Amino acid sequence: MVLLRASGLSKTYGQGRLRVEALRGVSLSVEPGEAVALMGPSGCGKSTLLNLLGLTLPVTSGELVVGGEPAPTRERERARLRNEFFGYLHQEFAIVESDTVAANVTIPLEYARPRVGRRQRLERARRVVESVGLGWALRRRAAELSGGERQRVAIARALVNEPSLVIADEPTAALDLATAGEIVTLLLSMRQLGASVLVATHDPRVAERCDRVVGMADGRLVAEETGISTD
Ligand X SMILES: Nc1ncnc2c1ncn2[C@@H]1O[C@H](COP(=O)(O)OP(=O)(O)OP(=O)(O)O)[C@@H](O)[C@H]1O
Residues engaged in binding ligand X (CB under 6 A): 13-14, 20, 22, 40, 42-48
- Closer to ligand X by CB, 36 or 101: give it: 36
| Least Å from the CB of residue 47 to ligand X | 3
Dihedral sign (CA 221, 192, 156, 133): negative
Peptide bond into 171 cis (omega under 30): no
Alpha helices in the chain (DSSP H): 46-53, 75-84, 101-110, 118-131, 147-159, 177-189, 204-207
- Closer to ligand X by CB, 145 or 214: give it: 214
- Closer to ligand X by CB, 15 or 98: give it: 15
| Least Å from the CB of residue 192 to ligand X | 28
By three-state DSSP, how is residue 20 classified? Answer: strand
Give, as one character, the DSSP assignment of residue 141. Answer: B
By three-state DSSP, how is residue 129 classified? Answer: helix
| Least Å from the CB of residue 170 to ligand X | 7
45: left (phi over 0), alpha (psi -120 to 50) or beta: left
| Least Å from the CB of residue 173 to ligand X | 9
- Closer to ligand X by CB, 178 or 223: give it: 223
- Closer to ligand X by CB, 11 or 121: give it: 11
| Least Å from the CB of residue 138 to ligand X | 32
